[in-house]
Amino acid sequence: MTSPVADPPQPTLLGIGEAAARLGTSERALRYYQQLGLITPSGRTPGGIRRYSEDDLERVSRIRELQELLGFNLEEIRSILENEDRLQAVRAEYRSETTDANRRRELVQESLALQIDLKDKVETKLDRLQRFRDDLEARAERMRQVLADAD
């Protein structure tokens, strides 16, 4: 399915400037997330320049979503990402049977519980936002009425 010519050895790694531009964030933010251990760029050039992969970018996207959309702080985001990373690790082990089945099952159940907890928070926020929008719509309708009556 892949191209008949050889894949490039570097699967398009980006400098911090390009990475920040694509993500719509700042270079400073990327360095700060790294300082807190939330992301580590896939590589560095011998000169010390950070190189970001597509997976790195997606991870940062996730951080931004949790921050802007949900309002979590970076400490909370760290623990959410830890949970997701742990789940990924367990999935890898499902293939290379190194952990026993009960333990794996336990880990997945734990992750699931945390996911459901997160989903509940999102639902709550959704409900509040919908009420806010409905209220705005009602206000706008009243104002349109005022304008119509003034004719």
Partner DNA sequence: TTGCTCCTCACGTCACGTGAGGTGGC
State the binding string over 12-31 for DNA (x if CB under 7 A, else -): ---xxxx-------xxxx-x
Tell whether residue 132 is a contact of DNA (CB under 7 A).
Answer: no
Tell whether residue 42 is a contact of DNA (CB under 7 A).
Answer: no
Tell whether residue 46 is a contact of DNA (CB under 7 A).
Answer: yes
Q: What is the nearest approach in angstroms of DNA to the Cβ of residue 150? A: 37
Label residue 63 exposed, middle or buried (CB < 10 Å: 0-12, 13-18, 19+).
Answer: buried
Question: Residue 111 and residue 102: Cα distance in Å, rounded?
Answer: 14
For residue 96, give both structure tokens.
């290379």
Q: Which residues lie near DNA (CB under 7 A)?
A: 15-18, 26-29, 31-33, 36, 45-50, 67, 73-75
